[in-house]
């Protein structure tokens, strides 16, 4: 089936063409995240749009929570993983490999921080005041 597209140049005054400084292309790519969980989290945090100044807060928060251990388990509450998800199964929304993949845990943790506190520094402040985030 062939589709004939109408000539819509007359709509340019209604919907002006906007030229962006840089367009994505097939030659653009993001390097795969590798290295330590901290290295990956730092890159993911920046990709999520937070500034470099938020890194110290995120590092402090997750060092306190899990010491950046993918398998960290709180024996009293059952919180699990790098971000200490409670219940642990919440992280399944970020991927089926949430039990063993630090990237999946970090992805979930950053999303949780964003939706609940707005930023890593706000999450750290809450954790410092109340003992949890």
3-state SS string over 17-52? CCCCCCCCCCCCCCCCCCCCHHHHHHHHHHHCCCCH
- pLDDT reading at 131 higher than 90: yes
- Of 42, 49, 53, 81, nearest to 65 by C-alpha is 81
What is this structure's pTM?
Answer: 0.75
The whole-number pLDDT of residue 119 equals: 98
What tens digit of pLDDT does each residue of 77-124 get?
999 999 999 999 999 999 999 999 999 999 999 999 999 999 999 999
Peptide bond into 17 cis (omega under 30): no
The whole-number pLDDT of residue 91 equals: 98
Q: Are 49 and 28 in contact (CB under 8 A)?
A: no
């Amino acid at each position: 089936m062939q589709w004939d597209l109408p000539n819509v140049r007359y709509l340019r005054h209604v919907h002006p063409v906007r030229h962006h400084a840089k367009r994505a292309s097939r030659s653009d790519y993001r390097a795969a995240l590798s290295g330590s969980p901290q290295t990956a989290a730092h890159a993911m945090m920046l990709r999520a749009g937070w500034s470099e100044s938020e890194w110290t807060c995120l590092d402090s928060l997750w060092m306190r929570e899990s010491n950046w251990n993918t398998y960290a388990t709180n024996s009293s509450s059952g919180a699990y993983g790098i971000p200490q998800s409670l219940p642990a199964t919440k992280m399944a929304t970020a991927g089926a490999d949430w039990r063993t993949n630090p990237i999946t845990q970090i992805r979930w943790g950053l999303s949780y921080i964003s939706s609940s506190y707005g930023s890593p520094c706000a999450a750290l402040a809450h954790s410092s005041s109340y003992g949890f985030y």
